[in-house]
Amino acid sequence: MPVNPSFLERLVLLRLNKGPAPMLDLFGASSFRSVTLALEIGLFETIADVDRPLTAEDLADRLDAHPDGIAVFCNFLVSEGYLEAVGDRYRLTGMTEKWLLAESETNMGPWLTYWNDLVFPFWEQELETAIREGEPSQSIYEWFDEDPARWETAQEGFRATASLLVDDVVDSMTVPAGQSRLLDVGGGHGLYAMELCRRHPKLSATVFDYPGAIDAMEDDIPDELAGRLGTRTGDYWTDDLGEGYDMALLFNVVHAHSPAENTALFERVRDALAPGGRIVVLDQWEGSGRTPVSRAGLRFVALTYHTTLGANVYEHDEVSSWLQAAGFTGIQRQSVGPISGMAIVEATKQ
């Protein structure tokens, strides 16, 4: 993570403006690149597997690297909070153990890899175009289609970040009682549909998304859910979504479209729902950040959506108006996740 300045450093750099605070961004960029390289070469997993502090020579032998390079690399990761030095040996910090090991339920490594391998290279290609012309020359999803391996990396990243929210999101949702059918529009990795099916044995689900996204997730459907969780490929603007569903999810979808498009999409979903069916929308909402980190996160997300999709972050009142225009009532909102900015919005088909 970015180096945490001391009180005196925050005073000098941030409050009094007596030193070059932009150097913290340089440290942060270097930290991100170093962490993704550590994930790529298996540095963290190597230390975890041995379960004791290792010297630079130990790590160099195991990673086919040079001891001098490993030493200077690990020392930087110590300063950034990912490793601890014990004499001339290195061990993982609690933060790394929780958030960056494959065996952890909260492993965010695939999410960082997604940004390093896909999003930031796309930024390099499209950021200036999006700023000067108002949108990128192509969407990041179109770019994914040029190489199926990109979809694999993206879905692993999406799944990693969704894993942090899935329990809170599912706990917050109202699921119809009895035998019911769920449609997950743009559901990609399918994590939310899978968890809903696990918790509700009478629920069956269909995940609808582009072929590249579905191809990347089908092998991840657990055997115990294979009979109740199906997939459907296509374009949700033009292809048949099916009908008679009791519930529909639109998670991280509306930010990719204009207000008129979202109203039209809600209408398509309404037509796919049975009478009294419910729609659940999950996204980040402008104006909902209450802390510096959450506000910065929302603005970061907005810039990302603009660069990768020519899209934006909307306010909750906007989505409510689109739902009403599309024929939904009883609109309710509930925040989810550990940091403010994310919320689900539920409504019922008239």
340: pLDDT confidence band, cut at 50, 70 and 90? low
213: pLDDT confidence band, cut at 50, 70 and 90? confident
Q: What is the pLDDT of residue 142?
A: 94
Same topology, domains 7-99 and 162-349? Answer is: no
> Domain 162-349 in CATH: superfamily?
Vaccinia Virus protein VP39 (3.40.50.150)
Q: What is the pLDDT of residues 65-89, one digit of tens each?
A: 999 999 999 999 999 999 999 999 9
Checking if the pLDDT of 260 tops 70, the result is yes
Q: Which amino acid is at 61?
A: D
φ, ψ of residue 110 in degrees (nearest 5): -60, -30
Rounded to the nearest angstrom, the gap between the alpha carbon of residue 333 and the centroid of all alpha carbons in its chain is 20
Q: What is the pLDDT of residues 92-104, one digit of tens each?
A: 999 999 999 999 9
Q: What is the pLDDT of residue 1?
A: 60
Q: What is the mean pLDDT of the chain?
A: 92
DSSP annotation of 313: P
Q: Where are the domains of the chain?
A: 7-99, 162-349
Q: pTM for this one?
A: 0.87
What mean pLDDT do residues 272-282 have? 95
Q: How far apart are CA 255 and CA 1, in angstroms?
A: 27
Q: What is the pLDDT of residues 225-241, one digit of tens each?
A: 888 999 999 999 999 99
Furthest CA-CA distance within the chain: 68
Q: How far apart are CA 213 and CA 215, in angstroms?
A: 6
For 300, half-sphere exposure in the C-beta direction (CA atoms, 13 angstrom radius) is 11
What mean pLDDT do residues 242-263 have? 93
**Which tokens hold the place of 74?**
């690990």
The angle that helices 148-172 and 191-199 make with each other, rounded to 10 degrees, is: 40
Class of domain 7-99: mainly alpha
